[in-house]
């Protein structure tokens, strides 16, 4: 009887969510240029990357002034995000005597620091896309109007949107939506709201306008639980309108500083300005012929896909590495190097450049190339400057394992600690590495001493703010699987090395340490499946 009640309850939940989805999900065929006349963007966390800062600030003030832990404070803040902060505090701590003081401090500190936070890179080309389609765009925010005006002007967004609105007494998000509908003579079914919080969905539903969630502080399942459609990026959002081939790289506003977009026949290149003339003179877009014209015998390197190293100028010590994109996994013999839509080389260039500018040691990308084969298929290449006198961690541990002297042992331990610190820094920057394994760590050997350690290969990686525990732990597990796989082949790495890496990664972070304990059990249960997959891969590919 008890099990029957549980089954009925679960089925009722499923039916309720299905009902919500049917009513409130904007149907994909309704997201067309003819049916949508305006798109409203939330500001904090959707247009500008301020939410990590605001979450930490709110949690700090709440834990200092109320009887609540920082973890609990973050949870309550996120549950009510999308509202004006004074309304959040009044809802979480009703009639508390410290409320006004906390709100004043929050708004003051927000005014001082918020302008240091950048606009998400996809926003400008996305808004320009809608402008080109004659679709109006607006900013709607629970942040004070003064902040919105100053921020949009400082970031040169004021002329990009058709209107930017912030909070004033009696003019919250609901009233802002009403004003947009009335002033621009729009019907609710013609308007779409894009936001990063669950409360944004409530504002949209109350005004009977459509809603799309952007997966940043909340995940897809969180939006699904309230009956809302969501996307992982602005690129995916635009593609809902039917433009499957659209990429933010089609707009030069998306290019990192110091790069140019060039078109040659069926090829598109994003190329570093410092090397543009030298590389274009040699027709880098025609890579099948390119290496043969350098007067330098190419050196072929190990890696997924073809890796070719050659001199940058056909003379001199500097070398470049050309990586041809190929599929991985069990089905790679079928798909090989042919990709369906998207712009993987351009995305990797952008994330790599963001990592470099953020201080993460990684390779210097010189060019990203996308060659259309026949619509909608393409092939891609990435050209980077070679890190001199370097090996990956597998090569390093293999060579070190042959001698295993005290010097080699000390170097290995320091490298393991460096790797932990680098991965931690990468995660604090909000970078989710899609394929973190030992070959993607490069060791630069100095003159008789250990050099720098680099993280490379950001293909299919993502920028997620803030990077949630399930994402950073997935990276740690992927790396540990790589270690386990090579340990079974005799690689010189021990259980103590793995603990040393984890200790370096977790240093000074009690919250991460607690979360790691909960995830370890899940990983151990999955390990058998990974070993079975490796056996199948060896059987198929040797």
Check whether residue 335 and residue 455 sit in a common domain. no
Could you give the CA distance from residue 526 to residue 541 in angstroms, rounded to a whole number? 23
DSSP-assigned beta bridge partners for residue 309 = 299, 321
Among 71-75, 244-248, 387-391, the least confident range: 244-248
pLDDT for 308 beyond 70: yes
Check whether residue 160 and residue 100 sit in a common domain. no
Q: Please give the pLDDT value at position 358.
A: 82
| Tens digits of residue pLDDT in 106-143 | 999 988 887 888 888 788 888 988 988 899 999 999 99
The total number of structural domains that make up the chain = 4
Check whether residue 280 and residue 181 sit in a common domain. no
Check whether residue 144 and residue 201 sit in a common domain. yes
Check whether residue 20 and residue 68 sit in a common domain. no
Check whether residue 143 and residue 26 sit in a common domain. yes
Q: Which of 6-10, 54-58, 467-471 has the highest mean pLDDT?
A: 54-58
Which is more confidently placed, 416 or 525?
A: 416
Check whether residue 295 and residue 217 sit in a common domain. no
Q: The domain that contains 491 carries what CATH number?
A: 1.10.510.10
Q: The domain that contains 147 carries what CATH number?
A: 3.40.50.1000
pLDDT for 336 beyond 50: yes
Most distant pair of Cα atoms in the chain: their distance:
81
Which is more confidently placed, 496 or 525?
A: 496
If you write DSSP's letter for every residue of 166-180 in order, what string do you get? EEBTTB-HHHHHHHH
- Express as a percent the part of the chain with pLDDT over 90: 41
Last residue of a domain, one of 246, 274, 302: 246
Last residue of a domain, one of 385, 411, 426: 385
Quickly state the pLDDT bin for 293 (edges 50, 70, 90): low
Ramachandran assignment for 41, one of left (phi > 0), alpha (psi -120 to 50 degrees), beta (any other): beta
CA dihedral 308, 277, 390, 344 (to 10 degrees): -60
Check whether residue 234 and residue 178 sit in a common domain. yes
> What range does the domain containing 80 cover?
51-116
Residues 248-259 have a mean pLDDT of 67
pTM for the whole structure: 0.66
Among 54-58, 95-99, 250-254, 326-330, the least confident range: 250-254
pLDDT for 227 beyond 50: yes
Quickly state the pLDDT bin for 464 (edges 50, 70, 90): confident
Check whether residue 241 and residue 274 sit in a common domain. no
Check whether residue 12 and residue 155 sit in a common domain. yes
Q: Please give the pLDDT value at position 531.
A: 54
| Tens digits of residue pLDDT in 390-414 | 999 999 888 866 667 788 888 889 9
Last residue of a domain, one of 214, 229, 246: 246
Among residues 290, 309, 440, 308, which one has the least CA distance to residue 371? 290
Check whether residue 401 and residue 462 sit in a common domain. yes
Check whether residue 352 and residue 262 sit in a common domain. yes
**For the sheet containing 210-214, what is the strand order?**
163-167, 136-144, 38-42, 191-195, 210-214, 230-231
């Amino acid at each position: 009887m008890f099990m029957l009640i549980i089954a009925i309850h679960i089925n009722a939940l499923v039916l309720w969510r299905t009902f919500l989805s049917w009513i409130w999900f904007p149907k994909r065929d309704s997201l067309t240029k003819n049916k949508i006349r305006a798109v409203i963007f939330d500001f904090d966390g959707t247009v500008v990357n301020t939410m990590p800062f605001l979450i930490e600030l709110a949690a700090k003030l709440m834990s200092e002034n109320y009887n609540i832990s920082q973890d609990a404070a973050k949870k309550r803040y996120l549950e009510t995000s999308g509202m004006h902060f004074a309304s959040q505090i009044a809802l979480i701590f009703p009639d508390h005597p410290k409320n006004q003081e906390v709100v004043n401090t929050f708004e003051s500190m927000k005014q001082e620091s918020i302008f240091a936070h950048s606009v998400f890179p996809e926003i400008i080309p996305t808004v320009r896309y809608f402008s080109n389609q004659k679709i109006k765009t607006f900013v709607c925010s629970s942040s004070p109007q003064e902040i919105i005006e100053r921020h949009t002007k400082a970031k040169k967004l004021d002329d990009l949107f058709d209107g930017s609105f912030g909070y004033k007494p009696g003019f919250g998000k609901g009233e802002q939506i009403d004003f947009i509908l009335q002033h621009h003579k729009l019907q609710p079914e013609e308007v779409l709201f894009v936001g990063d919080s669950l409360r944004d969905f409530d504002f949209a539903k109350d005004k009977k306008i459509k809603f799309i969630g952007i997966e940043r502080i909340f995940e897809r399942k969180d939006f699904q639980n309230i009956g809302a459609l969501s996307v992982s990026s602005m690129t995916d959002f635009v593609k809902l309108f039917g433009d499957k081939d659209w990429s933010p790289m089609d707009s030069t506003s998306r290019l990192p500083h110091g790069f140019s977009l060039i078109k040659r026949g069926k090829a598109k290149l994003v190329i570093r300005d410092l090397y543009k003339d030298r590389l274009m003179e040699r027709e880098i877009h025609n890579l099948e012929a390119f290496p043969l014209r350098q007067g330098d015998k190419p050196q072929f390197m190990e890696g997924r896909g073809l890796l070719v190293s050659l001199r940058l100028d056909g003379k001199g010590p500097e070398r470049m590495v050309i990586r041809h994109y190929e599929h991985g996994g069990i089905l790679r013999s079928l798909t090989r190097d042919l990709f369906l839509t998207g712009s993987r080389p351009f995305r990797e260039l952008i994330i790599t450049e963001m990592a470099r500018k953020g201080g993460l040691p990684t390779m210097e990308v010189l060019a990203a190339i996308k060659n259309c084969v026949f619509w909608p298929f393409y092939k891609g290449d990435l050209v980077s400057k070679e890190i001199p006198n370097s090996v990956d961690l597998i090569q390093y541990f293999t060579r070190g394992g042959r001698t295993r002297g005290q010097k080699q042992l000390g170097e290995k331990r320091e490298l393991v600690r460096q790797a932990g610190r680098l991965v931690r820094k990468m995660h604090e920057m909000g970078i989710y590495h899609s394929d973190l394994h030992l070959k993607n760590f490069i060791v630069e050997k100095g003159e008789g001493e250990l050099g720098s350690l680099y993280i490379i290969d950001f293909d299919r990686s993502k920028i997620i703010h803030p990077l949630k525990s399930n994402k950073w732990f997935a990276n740690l597990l992927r790396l540990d699987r790589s270690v386990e796989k090579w340990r079974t082949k005799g690689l010189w790495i021990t259980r103590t090395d793995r603990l040393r890496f984890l200790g370096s990664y977790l240093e000074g972070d009690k919250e991460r340490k607690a979360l790691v304990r909960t995830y370890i059990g899940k990983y151990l249960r999955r390990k058998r499946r990974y070993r079975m997959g490796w056996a199948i891969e060896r059987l198929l590919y040797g």
